[in-house]
Chain A
Amino acid sequence: MAARFSRRAVLATAAAAALAPRLARAAGEARLITIGAPTTEIVYALGAGDLVVATDTTSRFPQEAAGLPKVGYMRALAAEGLLSLAPSRIIAQEGSGPPEVLARVREAGIAVDEIPERPDLATLGAKIALIAERLGRQKQGERLAEELRRQLQGVPRAGSRSALCLIHPGGNGWMAAGHDTVPDLYLRLAGARNCIGFSGIKPLSMEAVIAGAPDLLVISSSALAQAGGLDGLLSLPHLAATPAAAAHRVVVLEAQLLLGLGPRSPLAVQQLTRMIQAA
């Protein structure tokens, strides 16, 4: 037993050693690890994607980033795992961690940037400016921020329809996005009113849904799949009674897009706006 176990351990080590990227660090060449979907998307939008050597598991866009080595979930990083990729800089969304792990990485002399994450447009501008500054791409940063500002302000305002944003089914119920969330900002930009009164993402009461009578449902694609598709969703008793279900007004957005403010945010707002104007 003991012998077999140790042989397996040796094999695992050999495999790990063979798979470990042994890219020699080219002189002066930056090697980035980006943590958090919006952070990764901004780095790519600034044209620095070819410097990224690894990302976290939430970074699934763009395609190139999805294929890179993954350092784990953004809040469960490993110090040695990060260091083993020999990064010159780690650009991490606020809340990445655990904090002790990032402290260990800083002790090793690696620059770790914490990028603020709050659901408002000012923070989006600040994120882009900060990342652009750290990458020495201020020009591209200003251009990207300007472009996003134009797209997000250029969205026409529709009437005051109410909307409900469903996040993902928890163990035994649904969660909804209230005030102070990215979906709430999207709804306001698209000219809709969030029918949820609380702030943050919390379990949803069925009565609140019926009382809120949303004209529009917003849902992440993964939550929709878990609800059994559109038919399954709209046949849920508390949703079936809403005007949104009656008119089949459902906007499906990818979870990363729904929860993180980044370069693709205008896409989300445009989809919502179209649906609201059609209502």
Chain B
Amino acid sequence: MVRAAFVVLPLGLVLVALLGLALGSAAIPIKAVALWPFDASVLTAQQKLIMDNIRLPRVMLGLMVGAMLAAAGAALQGIFRNPLADPGLIGVSAGASLGAATMIVLGGEHLAGPWALPLAAFVGAVLATLAVYGLGRRHGMVSPPSMLLAGIAVNALAGAGIGLFSYVGDDLQLRQLTFWTMGSLGAAGWSTLTPSLLPIGLSLAGLLALATRLDVFALGEREAFHLGLDPRLMVRLAVGLTCLGVGTAVAAAGPVGFIGLVVPHLVRLVLGAGHRVLLPASMMLGAILLVGADTAARLLAAPAELPVGLLCSLLGAPFFLWLLRR
């Protein structure tokens, strides 16, 4: 089963990436798309711009964000030994949204710069995670249950802050905030992709490296300690890497729900709970789901677009239910 999955998933990844490049509201012949990497002259100038500046960075960002969200969800569910944990729980998404809301409403003219909004979102994500981590400690020891509760409280607080900014904001800011919180890959370009590569790459590699230790951690904190693991360091690493990677992903694409929570469950149902399989398989499935949903989002309402988070749930939730009932 596992071996089959590690053939099917990479194939799916390649297929969905190719579909994402080949399809879109602008009708570019598939043949031209196929020849484009070898001979750019098969495309008109306009089509080349669409491929170079819109579809390629968008598909790449989708792959990275999807993989990141799913990997973070798998790692956090492991660390907290709680099936409902997802990157939102340690405050990343809510913190990023609050950072974005602050910038949208108070930023004024500064918002004109392309960096302002992602940077504010990233800073918000980091601050919220630090708050959850700090509040979740008891007598110097990290306790996952306290961190879960602290996460819920920080989420509520950030929600209140967003509500406050929505009240103060004018109509335009309110709309902007609403659309930001829906999550979208529509703003993807090289300027959003390039700065995301390093932090997301580091985070993915780091989480993969933790896989074996996450398996040990699953036995329980005390057991892990006796097996020579430092639980405090584990929590710190998993939370820190998640914050870095998901903070970057949310800054680039806004909060996209569903993937972080459900993709690890999907993988676990089919391939089991071992993290050395779970983490890489979740990454691939997350990337496939997000890029697939984004491609559908671009096609279904063309020339307009649907929010990609919506389509992720629409495509993923019935599949998940089917697996559960099987």
> Of B50, B171, B176, B304, which one neighbours A108 at CB under 8 angstroms?
B50
Question: Are A9 and B296 in touch, CB under 8 angstroms?
Answer: yes
> Of A54, A75, A85, A104, which one neighbours B175 at CB under 8 angstroms?
A75
Q: Is A153 an interface residue (CB 8 A)?
A: no
| Minimal beta-carbon separation of A169 from chain B (angstroms) | 15
Residues of A within 8 A of B53 (CB): 104, 107-108
Interface centre among B19, B50, B295, B305 (most CB of A within 10 A): B305
Question: Are B27 and A72 in touch, CB under 8 angstroms?
Answer: no
Contact flag A76-B300 (CB < 8 Å), given A13-B23, A84-B24, A202-B167:
no
A-B contact pairs, 28 of them (CB 8 A): A9-B19, A9-B295, A12-B299, A13-B299, A16-B27, A54-B303, A71-B304, A75-B175, A76-B179, A77-B186, A78-B298, A78-B302, A79-B186, A80-B50, A80-B298, A81-B304, A83-B46, A83-B49, A84-B24, A84-B25, A84-B26, A84-B302, A98-B179, A101-B187, A103-B114, A109-B46, A109-B49, A200-B171
Contact flag A100-B114 (CB < 8 Å), given A69-B303, A80-B50, A80-B298:
yes
Q: Is B172 an interface residue (CB 8 A)?
A: yes
Question: Are B305 and A72 in touch, CB under 8 angstroms?
Answer: yes
Contact flag A80-B114 (CB < 8 Å), given A98-B179, A107-B49, A108-B50:
no
Contact flag A72-B189 (CB < 8 Å), given A13-B23, A80-B25:
no
| Minimal beta-carbon separation of B83 from chain A (angstroms) | 24
Q: Is A127 an interface residue (CB 8 A)?
A: no
Residues of B within 8 A of A9 (CB): 19, 23, 295-296
A99 to B192, CA, bound (A): 13
Question: Are A84 and B176 in touch, CB under 8 angstroms?
Answer: no
A203 to B171, CA, bound (A): 12
| Minimal beta-carbon separation of B184 from chain A (angstroms) | 8
Interface centre among A6, A22, A80, A101 (most CB of B within 10 A): A80
Q: Is B301 an interface residue (CB 8 A)?
A: yes
- Report the nearest A residue to B187, measured CB to CB: A100
Q: Is A213 an interface residue (CB 8 A)?
A: no
Interface residues on B, range: 35 or more
Q: Is B170 an interface residue (CB 8 A)?
A: yes
- Report the nearest A residue to B307, measured CB to CB: A76
Residues of A within 8 A of B8 (CB): 2
Question: Are A81 and B305 in touch, CB under 8 angstroms?
Answer: yes
A105 to B175, CA, bound (A): 21
| Minimal beta-carbon separation of B149 from chain A (angstroms) | 28
Contact flag A95-B179 (CB < 8 Å), given A78-B304, A100-B114, A104-B54:
no
**63-112 of chain A: CB within 8 A of chain B:** 69-73, 75-86, 95, 97-101, 103-104, 107-109
Q: Is B265 an interface residue (CB 8 A)?
A: no
Interface residues on A, range: 35 or more
Contact bitstring B60-72, A, C-beta under 8 A = 1, else 0 = 0000000000000
Contact flag A81-B25 (CB < 8 Å), given A75-B179, A108-B46:
yes
- Besides A6-B15, A83-B46, A103-B189, 10 more A-B contacts (Cβ < 8 Å) are A12-B296, A70-B303, A78-B25, A78-B186, A81-B303, A85-B303, A100-B186, A100-B192, A104-B189, A200-B171
A105 to B192, CA, bound (A): 16
Contact bitstring B17-42, A, C-beta under 8 A = 1, else 0 = 00100011111000000000000000
A202 to B166, CA, bound (A): 10
Contact bitstring B113-135, A, C-beta under 8 A = 1, else 0 = 01000000000000000000000
**8 pairs of A and B residues whose beta carbons are closest in the complex:** A72-B304, A81-B303, A100-B187, A84-B26, A78-B305, A84-B25, A81-B25, A108-B49
Residues of A within 8 A of B298 (CB): 78, 80-81
Residues of B within 8 A of A109 (CB): 46, 49
